[in-house]
Amino acid sequence: MAVAQIEFSKELNDYIEKWGKKPGGLIMMLHRIQDEFGYVPREAAEKLSRMIGLPLAKIYGVITFYHYFKTTKPGKYKISICLGTACYLKSSQELVDETKSILGLSGDEVTDDGLFSIDEVRCLGCCGLAPVMMVGDEVFGKVKKDDLPDIIAKYRDMK
């Protein structure tokens, strides 16, 4: 069976060369892979396994243990909704539920048009603006359920 090929940037290859044998290096390398691709594609995990001589099962053990790492490609616009203490106390779970309802999502999925995915996160570092959500790099604070359709429409119109 042929192994699918994936290309790493020169910077990523250099990074793997630097961190490949260092203790704790696996997490650092997985972060860089996710930064480069937006998630950790299986082909990238396989290539990393071959490059550093670590069994694929060990790499997937780390990927699946940490909530941060994603194994599926996110939507063009990743919606991050904070469920940290301050946001949760201000009903951010309702924002998650309503956003999923608006987008027709039930879990870790991407909308059919590939535009949106939702990521439930533990803290966005904006506790004073609770509840907080981000779409891409844009922060929205003191979000109410009634704000969600307009926020989503803004990005849908940007296609």
Same domain, 81 and 111: yes
Please check whether residues 111 and 54 belong to one and the same domain: no
Residue 99 burial (10 A CB sphere; 0-12, 13-18, 19+): buried
Q: How many helices and strands, by DSSP H and E, does the chain display? A: 7, 4
118 beta partners:
79
Residues 93 and 121 in one domain: yes
**DSSP state string for 10-66:** HHHHHHHHHHTTSTTHHHHHHHHHHHHHSS--HHHHHHHHHHHT--HHHHHHHHHHS
Both 134 and 81 in one domain: the answer is: yes
Range of the domain at 19: 10-65
Residue 103 lies in a domain: yes
pLDDT value at position 18?
A: 93
How far, in Å, are 19, 46, 49 from residue 57 at the CA level?
19, 10, 9
Average pLDDT over residues 4-15: 91
| Inter-residue contact 16 to 51 (CB < 8 Å) | yes
The CATH number that applies at residue 151 is: 3.40.30.10
Among 66-75, 103-112, 137-146, the range of highest mean pLDDT: 137-146
Host H or E run for residue 119? strand 116-121
Q: Does 142 fall in a domain? A: yes
pTM: 0.76
Whether 111 shows a pLDDT value over 80: the answer reads yes
What confidence score (pLDDT) does residue 1 get? 46
Q: How far apart are CA 75 and CA 4, in angstroms?
A: 23
d(CA 152, CA 79): 9
21 pLDDT more than 60? yes
> Is residue 61 domain-shared with residue 82, that is, in the same domain?
no
> Contact at 8 Å (CB) between 143 and 95?
yes
pLDDT over 70 percentage in the chain: 97
Higher-pLDDT residue of 20, 88 = 88
